[in-house]
């Protein structure tokens, strides 16, 4: 099944039923074909609301989680966004529809190369993808209006908090184990950071260093 009108309608209905209600986010997810980011055996399941395996032992998150995380960021059209964990590139592509500029980093060179190809195919010229240790963010491009982390850390990483603008928002999965993780929204204020717990989630762990691929 391609991402035709019927598939899009079912896809958006499923997102709404899971709590993705922001129309700008839904429109972005309607425009970006998730099927382009999944290769091989699992491609036929691209429009189901489930995580799927990709290369380098990583996963592409289920669409409803992508939608909820994106919605929680409250992105404005002038915002500069950092994504930590490019993976397939799907999340960055969604962000590119909402933000002025998206910087995305991943520790796996192979994933970044594959994601860049899809960005080029879709002519998403406002995304810059790097191979780097995302736990340190991108100090050269900081500060950021929004930061999205797509791997679970024990605590919101200090270097990323430091790269958030005052008034900026970071959404990050936090947890000590695979079993217990929570999606946290961190807002930087004049005096420090405010934390909101959003929902339970399951993500691969945030790992330091570059991947061996």
Q: What is the pLDDT of residues 93-139, one digit of tens each?
A: 999 999 999 999 999 999 999 999 999 999 999 999 999 988 899 99
What's the confidence (pLDDT) of residue 209?
60
The distance from CA 183 to its chain's CA centroid, rounded to whole angstroms, is 12
| Mean of pLDDT over the chain | 91
Is pTM beyond 0.85? Reply is yes
Q: How many helices (H) and strands (E) does the chain have?
A: 6, 9
Burial label, 184 (beta-carbon count in 10 A; 0-12, 13-18, 19+): buried
What's the confidence (pLDDT) of residue 152?
87
pLDDT band at 159 (very low <50, low <70, confident <90, very high): very high
Catalytic residue among 17, 27, 61, 72: 61
Is the Cβ–Cβ distance between 29 and 15 less than 8 Å? yes
What gap in Å lies between CA 117 and CA 147, rounded to an integer? 23
Q: Does residue 61 have an active-site annotation?
A: yes
């Amino acid at each position: 099944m391609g991402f035709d009108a019927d598939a899009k309608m079912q896809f958006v209905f499923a997102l709404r039923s899971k709590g993705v209600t922001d129309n700008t986010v839904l429109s972005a997810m309607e425009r970006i074909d998730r099927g382009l980011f999944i290769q091989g055996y699992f491609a036929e399941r691209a429009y189901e609301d489930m995580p799927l395996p990709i290369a380098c032992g990583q996963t592409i998150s289920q669409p409803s989680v992508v939608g909820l995380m994106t919605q929680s960021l409250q992105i404005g059209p002038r915002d500069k966004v950092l994504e930590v964990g490019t993976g397939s590139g799907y999340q960055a592509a969604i962000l590119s529809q909402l933000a002025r500029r998206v910087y995305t980093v991943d520790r796996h060179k192979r994933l970044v190369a594959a994601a860049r190809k899809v960005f080029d195919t879709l002519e998403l010229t406002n995304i810059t993808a790097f191979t780097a240790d995302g736990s340190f963010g991108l100090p050269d491009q900081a500060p950021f209006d929004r930061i999205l982390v797509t791997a679970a850390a024990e605590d919101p990483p200090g270097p990323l908090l430091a790269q958030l603008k005052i008034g900026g928002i970071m959404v990050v999965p936090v947890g000590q184990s695979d079993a217990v993780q929570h999606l946290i929204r961190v807002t930087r204020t004049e005096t420090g950071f405010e934390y909101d717990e959003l929902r339970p989630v399951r993500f691969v762990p945030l790992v330091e260093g570059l991947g061996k691929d």
